[in-house]
Structure 1
């Protein structure tokens, strides 16, 4: 049910040039000025302005700041842009806690330790704005809204749900309606220079070749809400409705991009699309991660012996990018802005410049994992196949049967069984990621490369974001040690 049709594949690969030519009149202004000039190069015709100098004296507004990527974005802004005025962070009150309490919780993680030690006063620049992206007008107090309107120069909108199992209705409420509300607020800001939306490289995952452009709308928004009203979360109906998309999350992000293109008005707007976001590579804390998502959980499950077979092939590309590279790129893009009146799209990814396969990434992770301690279940090199029958058979032989026998032995000893229960989450995750682990995407990043090349050597050092500089043989062991330290937290 997840396999891309042969017709779709041939269409994507063979007709891409025709599509781009056909859409030239519509899309060329997104990348070129009216005189045909490249806006990225044109913006560098004036004397060089460092990234930190751009943010000096300016205030920014961040949504999604309490998430994994949001924390790193805030830390990097404060650490490398010392003269930034303020960072307003939209924070939802939770379980009786006010935004100030949630801010303290957000800061009470290791990724902020270096900032606390070397630049503690910078933390005072974070200003919590209590609100809720799912409520009318973001549920922001009038006085707080006026602060944002008067002071903000750059908006970083990254708030979204990435839970694939969330209901379609909730995904649309958070991702689509939330984006609409943040845009409405941003349009009121008196000094706004850039609105930057964080999307995903997989917003067009129904294609194998993904360019830095906004593709035609996959569904009319009225059609989407009519489907939700009439079908709820019927799995079969939803699968038919998304029509080539892996899930409702990726479809919602495509709809967001189309909404932004159609409604950004005079706002200078940028879309950054990261691929699979992975743990920190360099700064502020190598290996740091604070949530079980996508590749993080998959590689960990393989290394702990929980997953022994996944959908895919030996050469399927795992397009991932370290979170610090994504955040540095976002900061750079925000500083350089958009000289065009149309939306500029940047893909922050690795498949087109420094690809690594799921097989090699898993092997490097497993090799490092085996160097550290003993595991309750014996890990092994993961099996890959695109056949559902083979996946089911291998799962039965390599996972279910051994778990059943282990549980039987525990019962005979008078202990509570646990191994079959341990299999449930890894199997669910494997099936949720089936589309991504079995499909090789070629995600283009020419615009991103050009933008990175405008930086001087100092800014390239302070804001590393070029995927060509990632040595996977070094990064994957670091990835593994980070997960063990910050998520598994073994007791010594």
Structure 2
């Protein structure tokens, strides 16, 4: 028997943006959102906004979806399941979302539920690009939604860090922290050259650490001001990480955020990072995020039928009070479990040194990254191969710098609306669309996540033979690591002893001479 939420989604037409992001990623890694909808509901159709990418046209990318990890089990159960997914050519950077007139009219006539998760998550994106994708596209989506006569729910996916300029983030709007109203900023975007607008970035950002959080904050103000009587809500997830349970345990397909550091550490390449071990980590599994997004739409339509809210409701989604996790616990679990799922291609024994002191970070980076990197590149040159380590470390250090604002301090989040949303669900829906962060077993989660990183990112074979091979390599590097530590410590001790002997002899001679 269908649950309340399954009944709501039955025969519905959904429009989803976010083809470049983790929540709605397509092409080589299909959307977790789409997979969940197809597997647990009887939606009639899902329209997905796609753009051509890396020389591949939209149809080529669609053809690859059936081979994606995410859809293996689903396609085996129902070979025709993907026929309910219809790609539409478009681009959030383009005017009118790059939609043709006929496709736009199709959406207006048919769509009942909208999930707008399209965004550029590059923290250092030029302002004119971030504004186009994260802010202006939100305005275009809201305007398109206003033309949809059958619209029942619109979920705008923001981020828990859209208001990171304050320490205590509640489920409300924060327009007072913007240096300039969103209308004015979008006017500047439309009237100024990209170069001139980008030059204004420091003045416009104010206290915001990057263009991503700033343009997402602008998008929230736009929803507040322009949504009118739309059945709309805002979903603010924390740092989205590998799945816990669905569509398979530990699934991940990108190297964004803290898992990039975890991945590099497991390879034995990243040995130093900037991290406040006592700060709370606002990490949330992608499958839990998807479950809550789907629940938000159901509840938005439900509340609209009862009473129109005075303002779009906001849902903060971060680890629950009582089940918080610090970055130190994140790091300890990752390193401790690295032996359970070691990479057979590792370059050294995994370990990670964390600090928030800038000068110490620079010293440690030179010792543990740059010196080994230059040494390896020298060996590669002597072998006639192309050097690559210093170039790789340059990318790693840029990623560490970009993550820094989010891993060195703690924010306090209120999540009253999220808690109330969970309580409104039936017991059956809570099982199918679980997003209860207080129930997560972090030890079990990291066991699944490390396995997923090994299989889906490092492309390691999952069988026991390859695991044992990785453990043998781990043990070998462990011995070499201890020998290197002993050699370096012995050398340092010998050097110190020699210096002390010379100083002692010098002072003894000076004393006798005096």
What TM-score, normalized to structure 1?
0.84
Q: Does 1:164 align with 2:127?
A: no
2:11 aligns with 57
Q: Structure 2 vs 1, CA of residues 238 and 382 (structure 1 numbering), >3 Å: closer, same or farther?
A: farther
Which segment is superposed worse, 420-429 or 194-203?
420-429
What is aligned with 2:326? 357
SS of the residue 2:109 aligns to: helix
Are positions 1:466 and 2:436 aligned together?
yes
Q: Does 1:283 align with 2:246?
A: yes
Alpha carbons 2:274, 2:408 under 8 Å: kept: yes
User: Could you tell me how far apart the structure 1 residues matched to 2:153 and 2:442 are?
Assistant: 33
Tell me if the contact between 1:214 and 1:257 (Cα under 8 Å) persists in the aligned partners: yes
Q: Which has the higher contact order (CA 8 A, sep 6+)?
A: 1
CA spacing shift, 1:280–1:376, aligned 2, 3 Å: closer
Work out the CA distance in 2 between the residues paired with 1:54 and 1:322: 25
Residue 309 of structure 1 corresponds to: 272
Q: Distance in 1 between matches of 2:380 and 2:100?
A: 57
Q: Distance in 2 between matches of 1:373 and 1:302?
A: 10
Give how far 1:216 is off. Answer: 1.8
Correspondences of 1:16-31 after superposition (within 5 Å): none
- Using a 3 Å threshold, how does the CA distance of structure 1 residues 355 and 290 change in structure 2: closer, same or farther? same
1:147 corresponds to which of 101, 106, 110: 106
Give the Å deviation of 1:79: 0.6
Shift of 1:298: 1.7
**Is the alpha carbon distance of 1:441 and 1:185 closer, same or farther for their aligned partners in structure 2, counting shifts above 3 Å?**
same
1:410 shift after superposition: 4.2
Q: What residue in structure 2 maps to residue 80 of structure 1?
A: 40
> Equivalents in 1 of 2:66, 2:139: separation in Å?
28
Are residues 410 and 149 of structure 1, via their aligned partners in 2, closer, same or farther at CA, if it must alter by over 3 Å? closer
The CA distance in 2 between the partners of 1:105 and 1:375, in whole Å, is 28
Deviation at 1:469, TM superposition (A): 1.4
SS at match of 1:205: coil
Aligned-CA RMSD value: 2.3
After superposition, the Cα gap between the structure-2 partners of 1:106 and 1:205, relative to the gap in structure 1 and judged at 3 Å, is: farther
Shift of the 111–268 alpha-carbon distance from structure 1 to 2, 3 Å rule, reads same
The question of whether the paired residues in 2 share the 8 Å contact of 1:171 and 1:249 is answered with: yes
Name the CA distance, whole Å, in 2 between partners of 1:300 and 1:378.
13
Measure, in 2, the Cα distance between the counterparts of 1:65 and 1:402: 38
Post-superposition offset of 1:111:
0.5
Specify the structure having the higher radius of gyration (Cα).
Answer: 2
Match of 1:25 in 2: none
For the structure 1 residues 392 and 139, does the alpha-carbon distance in structure 2 shift closer, same or farther, using more than 3 Å as the test?
same
Q: Deviations over 1:56-77 (max 9, x none)?
A: 1211111114643110001101
User: Which 10-residue stretch deviates more, 155-164 or 406-415?
Assistant: 406-415
Unmatched tracts of structure 2, length 5 or more: 25-30, 467-514
Query: Counterpart of 2:276 in 1: which secondary structure?
Result: coil
Does 2:29 match 1:69? no
- How much has 1:240 moved relative to structure 2? 5.5
Closer, same or farther: CA 66–109 of 1 in aligned 2, 3 Å: farther
Partner of 1:366: 335
The corresponding residue for 1:391 is 361
Unaligned 5+ residue runs, structure 1?
Answer: 1-47
In structure 2, do the counterparts of structure 1 residues 414 and 140 end up closer, same or farther at CA, with 3 Å as the change threshold?
closer
Alpha-carbon distance in 2 for matches of 1:159, 1:190: 23
Contact 1:351–1:441 (CA under 8 A) maintained in structure 2: no
Between the aligned partners of 1:95 and 1:318, the Cα distance in structure 2 is 34
Aligned partners of 1:243 and 1:324: how far apart in 2? 34
Indicate the SS of the match to 2:161. Answer: helix
- In structure 1, what is the equivalent of residue 421 of structure 2? 451
Rounded to whole Å, the distance in 2 between the matches of 1:418 and 1:186 is 48
Q: Map Cα deviations across residues 77-119 of structure 1 (whole Å, 9 max, x no partner).
A: 11111x2111111112346654333222344310011211223
Displacement of 1:341 after TM fit? 3.9
Question: Which digits, 9 at most, give the CA deviation of each residue in 1:308-360, with x for residues without a partner?
Answer: 22223221111110101000001011011143142000012116452111121
- What secondary structure is seen at the aligned counterpart in 2 of 1:203? coil
Matched, 1:483 2:447: no
Aligned residue number for residue 244 of structure 1: 207
Q: Tell me whether 205-214 or 362-371 shows the greater mean CA deviation.
A: 362-371
Normalising by structure 2, we get a TM-score of 0.81
Structure 2 CA distance for aligned equivalents of residues 226 and 61 of structure 1: 30
**Aligned 8 A contact 1:484 1:490 in 2:** yes
On the 8 A contact 2:268/2:351 being kept in 1, the answer is no
Q: Which residue pairs with 1:441 in the alignment?
A: 411
- Does structure 1 residue 205 correspond to structure 2 residue 178? no
- Number of residue pairs matched by the alignment: 442
> For residues 46 and 385 of structure 2, what CA distance do their matches in structure 1 show?
53
- Alpha-carbon deviations, 1:181-217, whole Å to 9, x = none? 1111111001111111000000001112111111125
Distance 1:52 1:387, change over 3 A: same
- In the alignment, the residues of structure 2 paired with residue 169 and residue 298 of structure 1 have an alpha-carbon distance, to the nearest angstrom, of 29
Quick check: 1:135 aligned with 2:94? yes
